[in-house]
Chain A
Amino acid sequence: MEKRVYFDHAATTPTHPEVVEAMMPYFTQSFGNPSSIYEIAQINKKAIDSAREQVAKLIHADPMEIYFTSGATEADNWAIKGIAESYKKKGNHIITTTTEHHAVLHTCEYLEKQGYEVTYLPVDEYGVVHIEDLKAAIKDTTILITIMMANNEIGTVQSVGEIGALAREKGILFHTDAVQAVGQIPVDVKDMHIDLLSISGHKLNGPKGIGALYVKKGVRLKAFIHGGAQERRRRGGTENVPGIVGLGKAMEIAGSHMEAKAKSLIALRDKLIDGIKEKVPYCKLNGHPEQRLPNNVNYSFEFIEGESLLIMLDMKGISASSGSACTSGSLDPSHVLLGIGLPHEIAHGSLRITLGMHSSEEDVDYLLEVLPSIVQRLRDMSPLYEDFVKKQG
């Protein structure tokens, strides 16, 4: 059988078998509409309530502060557009960073076209936002700070508690896209002074097409989808009950195994980081060396292009990701890699390896075995490497 190794968990994760098991009855047996009165409908309503509790528990929120959405993109859109609209009279200024997910960046760009002012804070070479820069960017008109908890490409974890405390002190609402963080690292919306937080199901071994937005009690947020009375009239539409049940179960599983899982992922991650550094010359680790997600490794390899690397890895049965322009259909490589100051030519040669529940030491060893020769093969094809070697004499 062909060997397959999946190293792209930041893109999506396999649905946990227990999650699938939990979801199944809601497709065929208890399929009633939760808004209806009869028993199979009410079973669904209870299942939603129970999932809301499971989601709330992992982030230390109240269940009534959880709203189910179609995913984190919707949650990000709702949080940012919703606050912008609800707090329009207070001000029109939003602060974010240059390395956010496009769900945040494109929403901010949309709002700029509607007359809002957005400050895009720079990050340092490790992808960290400096609190002094944030302080300097705050204006009397600032209504929202939206900064991701952990970066999806380079894995850098921000000092969210510090950002939240500053926002609270200044009376500004704080939203964080916590898609990559929830289930991987401890998240406490109260301790971290978070007002709004986005979650995605399929990033933590839940199903695709389901997410959640945490909205702190007392925060004014207009309805995002107008329709029925679902989600306390803030998000109309018949609930995706199997998805919601799946998200709840995934959050419960993630919470119960988080510490042990993080410990084992960190060991694998560090083995990869050290192994690549040792075996492949002319490479650079992207992201923070310590303040990073347990499952993220991101390297740039000089003289080669990321898409070629991904194809060759795929041919060896390894699925990974790159910030190369060629994988995005644009001429520019990842805005995150450019945001941390990488020159274009280095950013083109990036490789993102993200570990997950099935990742093993054997997988890591296999990657470390095949990667050096693939990189060298591509370098042998590269005129940039030829020039470099000649220059070295």
Chain B
Amino acid sequence: MYTKKVMDHFTNPRNMGELQDADGVGTVGNAKCGDIMRIYLKVEDEVIKDVTFKTFGCGAAVATSSIATELVKGKTIRDALKITNDAVVEALDGLPKAKIHCSLLAEEALHAALWDYSQKHGIEIEGLEPPKEDVGEHHHEDALEEA
């Protein structure tokens, strides 16, 4: 079902983890739909010096997050913004049709993290839009009680 590249990034995710003192953090997706991606950024002189991710989701969701971090690391904000979901899919040698939404989520997560960075530092980034407010809350205790 998945390409070797997807499996490689799923089993050996690059840049996975929380980034302490991140300059920007973006979380997108919805637990209800089974996908949540969070991207952490460290930015210096408008260059993405470090980037990490955390993902709740399927193999494709993990792989797209992982490769997206590789694609933007070391790039300027302007160049990072040019990376689309198509580039993510291409870099993974393709994704099944039903999983294309994962690559869109990776693009959105990166944009959300850049938006957070821009808001925190009072910087306007041309072409960057605020993220969609659809991150589902995870009512862990309630869920267990209800179940």
Instruction: Choose the segment among A82-90, A110-118, A219-227, A381-389 that binds chain B (4+ C-beta atoms closer than 8 Å).
Output: A381-389
Contact indicator B58/A303 (Cβ below 8 Å): no
A311 to B99, CA, bound (A): 15
CB distance from A382 to the nearest CB of B (A): 4
Residues of B within 8 A of A282 (CB): 140, 144
- Nearest B-chain residue to A304, judged by Cβ: B56
Kindly state whether residue A1 has any CB partner on chain B within 8 Å: no
Kindly state whether residue A345 has any CB partner on chain B within 8 Å: yes
Instruction: Choose the segment among A42-50, A62-70, A322-330 that binds chain B (4+ C-beta atoms closer than 8 Å).
Output: A322-330
Residues facing B in A372-393 (CB within 8 A) are: 380-388
Kindly state whether residue B131 has any CB partner on chain A within 8 Å: no
A221 to B143, CA, bound (A): 45
Contact indicator B56/A303 (Cβ below 8 Å): yes
Kindly state whether residue B123 has any CB partner on chain A within 8 Å: no
Residues of B within 8 A of A329 (CB): 98
Instruction: Choose the segment among B27-35, B71-79, B82-90 that binds chain A (4+ C-beta atoms closer than 8 Å).
Output: B27-35
Contact indicator A388/B147 (Cβ below 8 Å): no
Contact indicator B34/A325 (Cβ below 8 Å): yes
User: Contacts A303-B56, A343-B143 given: A381-B62 contact, CB under 8 Å?
Assistant: yes
Q: How many residues of B contact A (CB 8 A)?
A: 35
Kindly state whether residue B106 has any CB partner on chain A within 8 Å: no
Contact indicator B34/A343 (Cβ below 8 Å): no
CB distance from A386 to the nearest CB of B (A): 6
Residues of B within 8 A of A384 (CB): 31, 36, 56, 138, 140
Contact indicator B138/A341 (Cβ below 8 Å): no
Contact indicator B140/A388 (Cβ below 8 Å): yes
A172 to B143, CA, bound (A): 38
Kindly state whether residue A261 has any CB partner on chain B within 8 Å: no
CB distance from B95 to the nearest CB of A (A): 12
Contact indicator A345/B59 (Cβ below 8 Å): no
A302 to B140, CA, bound (A): 8
Kindly state whether residue B55 has any CB partner on chain A within 8 Å: yes
- Nearest A-chain residue to B17, judged by Cβ: A380
Contact indicator A345/B138 (Cβ below 8 Å): yes
CB distance from B18 to the nearest CB of A (A): 6
Kindly state whether residue B121 has any CB partner on chain A within 8 Å: no
User: Contacts A308-B10, A381-B13 given: A345-B58 contact, CB under 8 Å?
Assistant: no
Contact indicator A381/B146 (Cβ below 8 Å): no
Residues facing B in A339-393 (CB within 8 A) are: 341-346, 348, 380-388
Contact indicator B146/A341 (Cβ below 8 Å): yes
Contact indicator B56/A305 (Cβ below 8 Å): yes
Residues of B within 8 A of A312 (CB): 11
- Nearest A-chain residue to B37, judged by Cβ: A383
Contact indicator A345/B32 (Cβ below 8 Å): yes
Kindly state whether residue B57 has any CB partner on chain A within 8 Å: yes
Kindly state whether residue A307 has any CB partner on chain B within 8 Å: yes
Residues of B within 8 A of A388 (CB): 138, 140
A307 to B11, CA, bound (A): 13
A329 to B97, CA, bound (A): 10
What would 10 more interface pairs be, CB under 8 Å, given A308-B57, A344-B31, A387-B138? A303-B138, A303-B140, A342-B147, A345-B136, A382-B55, A383-B27, A383-B36, A384-B36, A385-B56, A386-B54
In the complex, 27 of the A-B residue pairs with CB atoms within 8 angstroms, ordered by the A residue number, are: A303-B140, A305-B57, A311-B7, A311-B59, A312-B11, A315-B11, A325-B33, A326-B99, A331-B34, A333-B34, A342-B143, A344-B34, A345-B31, A345-B32, A345-B136, A346-B143, A380-B16, A381-B62, A382-B55, A383-B36, A383-B37, A383-B38, A383-B55, A384-B31, A385-B56, A386-B54, A388-B140
